[in-house]
């Protein structure tokens, strides 16, 4: 029997708009049913929609491609929240207790709901992350059933400009007619998909090298501690290469094919195009890449966790594939560096997608998806025609009822004269036959 129901994730990146369809079993393991990507062109910049109508058209096209692959209609989707305005801030909620009543799950949930209502001025609260609890000023890993006088919940709120959400709603819901099942912070979701628990506990800097932005997320003790977005990415490097006299498409191709960082950057690759000055190309690439790296290192220092990252730097994102970037970043940061891929424990198929950094964030959305995204067709019940029984025929009088009443009255008036005139009428009837009668 064919299964029904699935979940859908859409990631709107600066270079590509990516969509994935999957089905989650009772254990939370996801099977990918379909995946597609289309170029963003100029409708998305720095991870935020800039052209609502163009983005809506591309989303419609993406949805159609996914529907053709699955043979099912899509009614809603989970979407990623990204952009250069995103950052994590600390927030504290306090609850006074009576000192005798044990702490319950309902109380902790109430604290979290209060944190979700917190909206810093000019920003939208996009996510409330797992808190740390303090009971009477002391850290408490599990406060359930404990008693005290004061309970504090220390949260990390991921905030960003309101236009991130409004642009998504206008493009996807209003224009493309796809309901948004949930807004999920992309970098947080990606961290859940690619990071080991050991890395989160030991301390690591997850760096997402995207096309429009580079996002830094720092984890320690199993929790997100810091997030910052640098407004430079792989597309910035491509535009620099373009200044060497190439069109954008050629600049992107040459950057990927011949670009190299570090000590071996000027070693000639096989079959270098005669149009490319390898030394000049890699000089331009490294200048901009160094600027991005120095910003990442500076943000790590500002976070206060620079000396606590025992697991080092972990890279994801399409722009992380630059040749020589692992060694070059390790040299600059003096930290161990490695690339990450999506964990097979969460997704049991589509190995090629797990290895493709373009799909990492879209796949990670499915971890947080729990609402059926299949479009429910409205079935209009068939109404049988109502057959009205035909009434039996009614025998009609030769004359209308009103005329009959009038004639009966007229007949009564004649009855008094009938005795004296009977003979006369009888003679007339005998003479005229059917020319006259009493009722006429």
pLDDT in tens, 202-213: 999 999 999 999
Indicate the pLDDT class of residue 389, thresholds 50, 70 and 90: low
Place of tokens 């810091």: 226
- Which of 173, 217, 170, 209 is CA-nearest to residue 13? 209
Please answer whether residues 125 and 86 qualify as being in contact, where contact means their C-beta atoms are separated by less than 8 angstroms.
no
- Residues 251 and 241: beta-carbon distance below 8 Å: yes
Task: Provide the CA 336 distance to its chain's centre, in angstroms.
Answer: 34
**376 burial type by CB count under 10 A (0-12 exposed, 13-18 middle, 19+ buried):** exposed
Query: Kind and range of the H or E element at 87?
Result: strand 87-96
Q: How far apart are CA 214 and CA 198, in angstroms?
A: 24
Instruction: Enter the DSSP assignment of 366.
Output: G
Rounded percentage of the chain residues whose pLDDT exceeds 90: 70
- How far is 195 from 187, CA to CA, in rounded Å? 12
User: For 133-153, what is each residue's pLDDT tens digit?
Assistant: 999 999 999 999 999 999 999
Residues 4-31, mean pLDDT to the nearest whole number? 92
Q: For residues 114 and 94, what is the distance between their CA atoms, to the nearest angstrom?
A: 10
Strands 16-24 and 7-12: antiparallel
Residue length of the chain = 440
Task: Give start-end residues of each CATH 3.30.420.40 domain in the chain.
Answer: 1-85+162-194+341-378, 196-339
| Helix (H) and strand (E) counts in the chain | 12, 16
pLDDT for 348: 87
- Enter the tokens of residue 358: 């373009």
How confident is residue 418, by pLDDT bands cut at 50, 70 and 90? very low
Per-residue confidence (pLDDT) for residue 263, from 0 to 100: 77
At 200 the pLDDT is 95
Which residues pair with residue 132 across a beta bridge?
154
Bridge partners (DSSP) of residue 347 are 30
Average pLDDT over the chain, rounded to whole?
86
Query: 221-238, pLDDT tens digit by residue?
Result: 999 999 999 999 999 999
The pLDDT value given to residue 251? 93
Q: What is residue 121's predicted lDDT score, i.e. its pLDDT?
A: 87
**124-135 and 138-140: which strand pairing?**
antiparallel
Could you tell me if 80 and 42 are in contact, meaning their C-beta atoms sit under 8 angstroms apart? no
* 2-11, 247-256, 361-370: least confident range: 2-11
Q: Give CATH 3.30.1490.110 domain extents, the chain.
A: 88-159
Per-residue pLDDT, 399: 47
User: pLDDT for 290-313, tens place per residue?
Assistant: 999 999 999 999 999 999 999 999
Can you tell me the mean pLDDT for 115-120? 90
The CATH fold of domain 88-159: Dna Ligase; domain 1 (3.30.1490)
CATH architecture of 1-85+162-194+341-378: 2-Layer Sandwich (3.30)
Could you give the CA distance from residue 5 to residue 19 in angstroms, rounded to a whole number? 16
User: What is the spatial distance between Cα 240 and Cα 264, in angstroms, rounded to a whole number?
Assistant: 21
Quick one: which of 47, 326, 89 has its CA closest to 214? 47
Token pair for 357: 């950094």
The pairing of strands 337-339 and 124-135 is unpaired
The predicted pLDDT at position 298 comes to 97
User: How confident is the model over 328-356, as a mean pLDDT?
Assistant: 91
- Please check whether residue 362 is in contact with residue 216, taking contact to mean a CB–CB distance below 8 angstroms: no
Cα–Cα distance for residue pair 419/396, rounded to 1 Å: 33
196-339 fold: Nucleotidyltransferase; domain 5 (3.30.420)
Residue 321's Cβ-count burial label (10 Å; 0-12, 13-18, 19+) is: middle
Q: Specify the pLDDT at position 395.
A: 53
Q: What is the spatial distance between Cα 217 and Cα 188, in angstroms, rounded to a whole number?
A: 8
Choose between 342 and 326: higher pLDDT. Answer: 326
């Amino acid at each position: 029997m064919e299964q029904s129901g699935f979940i859908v994730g859409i990631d709107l990146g600066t270079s590509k708009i990516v969509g994935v369809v999957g089905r989650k079993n009772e254990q939370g393991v996801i099977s990918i049913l379909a995946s597609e990507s289309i170029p963003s062109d100029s409708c998305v910049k720095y991870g935020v929609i800039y052209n609502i109508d163009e983005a809506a058209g591309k989303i419609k096209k993406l949805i159609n491609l996914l529907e053709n692959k699955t043979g099912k209609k899509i009614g809603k989707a989970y979407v990623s929240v990204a952009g250069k305005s995103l950052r994590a801030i600390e927030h504290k909620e306090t609850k006074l207790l009576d000192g005798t009543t044990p702490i319950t799950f309902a109380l902790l949930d109430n604290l979290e709901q209060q944190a979700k209502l917190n909206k810093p001025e000019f920003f939208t609260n996009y996510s409330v992350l797992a808190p740390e609890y303090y009971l009477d000023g002391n850290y408490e890993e599990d406060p359930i059933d404990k008693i005290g006088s004061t309970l504090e919940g220390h949260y990390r709120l991921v905030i960003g400009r309101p236009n991130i959400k409004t642009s998504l709603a206008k493009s996807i819901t209003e224009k493309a007619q796809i309901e948004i099942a949930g807004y999920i912070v992309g970098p947080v979701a990606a961290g859940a998909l690619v990071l080991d628990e050991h890395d989160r506990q030991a301390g690591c800097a997850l760096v997402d090298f995207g096309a429009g932005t580079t996002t830094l997320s720092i984890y320690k003790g199993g929790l997100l501690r810091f997030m910052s977005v640098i407004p430079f990415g792989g597309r910035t490097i491509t535009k620099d290469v373009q200044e060497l006299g190439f069109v954008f498409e050629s600049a992107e191709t040459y950057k990927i094919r011949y670009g190299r960082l570090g000590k071996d950057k000027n070693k000639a690759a096989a079959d270098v195009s005669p149009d490319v000055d390898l030394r000049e190309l890699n000089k331009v690439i490294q200048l901009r890449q160094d600027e991005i790296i120095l910003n990442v290192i500076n943000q790590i220092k500002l976070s206060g966790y620079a000396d606590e990252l025992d697991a080092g730097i972990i890279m994801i994102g399409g722009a992380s594939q630059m040749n020589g970037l692992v060694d070059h970043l390790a040299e600059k940061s003096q930290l161990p560096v490695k690339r990450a891929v999506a964990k097979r424990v969460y997704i049991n198929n589509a190995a090629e997608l797990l290895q493709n950094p373009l799909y990492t964030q879209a796949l990670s959305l499915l971890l947080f998806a729990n609402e059926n995204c299949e479009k429910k067709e409205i079935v209009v019940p068939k109404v049988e025609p109502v057959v009205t029984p035909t009434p039996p025929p009614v025998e009609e009088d030769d004359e209308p009822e009103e005329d009959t009443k009038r004639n009966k009255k007229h007949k009564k008036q004649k009855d008094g004269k009938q005795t004296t005139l009977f003979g006369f009428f009888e003679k007339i009837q005998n003479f005229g036959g059917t020319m006259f009668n009493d009722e006429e």
